[in-house]
Amino acid sequence: MNPFAASFQAVQQQIADAEARYDRTAGSVQLVAVSKTQPATGVRAIHELGQNHFGENYLQEALAKIDALQGLPLVWHFVGHIQSNKTALVAGCFDWVHTIDRDKIARRLNDQRPGKLVPLNVCVQVNVSGEYSKSGVAPEALEHLLAIVAGLPRLRLRGLMTLPAPESDFEQQRQPFRALAAMLRRYRERFNLDTLSMGTTGDVEAAIAEGATMVRIGSALFGPRQ
């Protein structure tokens, strides 16, 4: 018996129910299973249930899992803060990066993406709420950063990401996601954007209600972090 079968089914059902409730197309929200602090055996077990997209926050931990799970058709998403001295490894080992927040990081990822690989899918992280402690580009600087990223040939600009402050009230949860969705609509055609990466275990329904196309779920799948 797969130890994650019940939790995986519950998360899938939660996503499907939210898609139906908010008139989203069935299957339009991609689940990214955030496997930080989980062992490679846990990733393998979730994959055996049909999950291919996995998100990691910590580079060294992720690299060990990527190496251990070679041969499986996994799509790896880097969803943590990127240090400039780690960009080469991120550029060479991941399929997606959700957390570009400054032009220096974008340029390094572009320059260090191996030529044998397809361009790296990337999202620009936006600090919607303006919290000093949060990563992300300020909304007023977003257009400039999008233009820079869009011009880098080894990156494929896909969309926007945010990680707002935790809120328990559903309507308050929706507000930052609504703001990010408005930014996507504003820049969608100019930059050919198709991805809204927003929503985690505690606010996934609010994110789907406001248009998320990717949700990043960890503890609801794997249980408490180790």
Domains in the chain (CATH in brackets) are 5-19+27-222 (3.20.20.10)
- Report the mean per-residue pLDDT for the chain: 96
Q: Is 97 helix (H, G, I), strand (E, B) or coil?
A: strand
**Residue 210 in this model has a pLDDT that exceeds 90:** yes
Provide the pLDDT for residue 226: 62
> pTM of the prediction?
0.96
Distances, alpha carbon 65 to alpha carbons 39, 47, 75, 168, 215, in Å: 7, 13, 12, 33, 21
**Residue 133 in this model has a pLDDT that exceeds 70:** no
Which letter does DSSP use for residue 153 in this model? Answer: T
Calculate mean pLDDT across residues 84-97: 97
Calculate mean pLDDT across residues 66-76: 97
Using pLDDT thresholds of 50, 70 and 90, give the confidence band for residue 217. very high
**Residue 134 in this model has a pLDDT that exceeds 80:** no
Provide the pLDDT for residue 81: 95
For the segment 17-56, what is each residue's pLDDT rounded down to a tens digit?
999 999 999 999 999 999 999 999 999 999 999 999 999 9
Tokens of 51: 């999950």
Alpha helices in the chain (DSSP H): 5-21, 40-48, 59-68, 87-93, 103-112, 142-150, 170-191, 204-209, 219-222
Using pLDDT thresholds of 50, 70 and 90, give the confidence band for residue 135. confident
Spatial CA neighbour of 90 closest among 63, 117, 68, 116: 63
Q: How far apart, in whole angstroms, are the C-alpha atoms of residue 188 and residue 159? A: 8
The share of the chain scoring above pLDDT 90, in percent, equals: 95
**Residue 178 in this model has a pLDDT that exceeds 90:** yes
Spatial CA neighbour of 102 closest among 72, 119, 117, 122: 122
Residue 160, beta-bridge partner list: 124, 196
Listed in sequence order, the residues at least 6 apart from 160 whose beta carbon sits closer than 8 Å to its beta carbon are 123, 124, 125, 126, 142, 180, 183, 184, 193, 195, 196, 197, 198
Which letter does DSSP use for residue 24 in this model? Answer: P
Using pLDDT thresholds of 50, 70 and 90, give the confidence band for residue 87. very high
